[in-house]
Amino acid sequence: MNLDVSKAIKSSPFSILLIVFSILFIGLISLYSVAESKTSGNSNAFIRQLFLLGPAIFLLVLFLAIPKKIIHEYVYVFYGAIILFVILPYFSPQVADTHRWIDIGLPFSLQPSEIAKLVIVLTLARYLSDRNIQLDHFAAMLLPFLIAFIPAIIVLNQPDLGTAIVMMSPVIPMLYWVGARPFHLFLVIAPILSIITAFDVSVFTFWSIVMAVIIFLSKPRLRNGITLFFSNIFLGLIFPLFWNGFLRPYHRNRILTAINPELDPLGSGYQVIQSKTALGSGGFFGKGWGAGTQTQLKFLPVQESDFIVSVIGEELGFVTILIMVVLFLYLILRILNLAFHSTDRFSGLVLIGISTIFLSHIFVNCSMASGMIPVKGLPLPFVSYGGSFLLSSFIMIGIVINFSREENY
């Protein structure tokens, strides 16, 4: 009997709430430490996060109760509205030299791009599930990419590169889920890898060889294979022109200092250096809650949001980070498992898209804090302070439980 109850709890989609609130607890105690810092300029972060939990839980319950067919029916209306919504910040005063937020007269501003991530997933899920789309042709994948690209390019110009990347991230997993050919997905990924590897001649040469082998094994038409190969080579060769002529200076600085933060230790590399110092100094068990020098003396910047994982590492140690990562991985795996057992295509696609959004945020935030990638300004789900993202994260959890509970009872 006890085994049956335990199995029922583990298999229930509501068990996801236990994971979410466990992660949330780690975030709250870290935010409280930041708020208690005598030199902190973010003493309201903890209070605001607590204040936002009320609306967040309300939205979770609301989207848990809304019938799936209602969400499905009005998805395209939501998409049209969100396109207008992400444009609105351009008519609001700048915050930190960007047009990302709308002042709604509350203790926090609203960031429409955070809601747009979920709407993109819902729109893609409906389009790919409603139509008998034949994905054996590359052209059939263009519209799904366009659905994500339109709001992403608006957000990129705000500017918000990190959020724009996350908006695009669910497209490939969702296309693969509905049967897109791996080679066609490779056609999308190849230009990105050609750009990334263009920084180093030897790496670019190695990628060129790998690309040639993949094209050969895929056996496309000779003309198409030659065109694909040389177009990617050309893209990699001209990227330095784009780098110098179109990328903004702060974008270039972030990329370069991610590779070598010591190039600008007091400028754009300062954040990464302080973050790595905090993580390294915490050791296995940390310096103790409220005892982190990088945190309490405010050497660590943006510690309540972008670099909250560094606060956790310094004060609570690697063990706590490991526990948090395990909880995150379990959350992602639970959502993916629910997607695999979903009885309809729309629900499965939505769950795949939501898991991709969470995974993107977790990977980027942790990699950024450890200096593995450029600073993107993406919060850690349920841990970092951030009004709009916290609200949208709870909405996504509500939808996950809503769309999956029928398959588990």
Which of the residues in the chain have pLDDT under 70? 1-13, 36-43, 94-99, 103-108, 131-139, 199-200, 240, 242-271, 290-301, 374-376, 406-409
Which of 313, 295, 315 has the alpha carbon at shortest distance from 303? 295
Residue given tokens 């709870």 in the structure block: 394
Terminal-residue alpha carbon distance, the chain: 18
Q: What is the domain partition of the chain in residue ranges?
A: 22-408
Determine the pLDDT at residue 18: 92
The pLDDT of residue 11: 54
Whole-angstrom Cα distance, residue 363 to residue 373? 10
Q: What is the pLDDT of residue 193?
A: 81
Q: Examine residue 159 and say whether the peptide bond preceding it is cis (omega within 30 degrees of 0).
A: yes
* Number of residues that this document lists for the chain: 409
pLDDT value, residue 104: 66
DSSP for 208-252 reads HHHHHHHHHHH---HHHHHHHHHHHHHHHHHHHHHHHHTS-HHHH
Q: What separation in angstroms does the CA of 298 have from each of 33, 90, 150, 330, 370? A: 12, 32, 39, 33, 18
What confidence score (pLDDT) does residue 245 get? 62
Q: Return the axis-axis angle of helices 15-36 and 387-404, rounded to nearest 10°.
A: 170
pLDDT the model gives residue 35: 72
Q: What is the CA radius of gyration of the chain?
A: 22
Classify the C-alpha dihedral 47-49-51-57 as positive or negative. negative
Q: How much is the pLDDT for 121?
A: 96
- pLDDT the model gives residue 97: 61
SS3 4: helix
Tell me, what's the pLDDT at 409? 39
Q: Which letter does DSSP use for residue 181 in this model? A: -
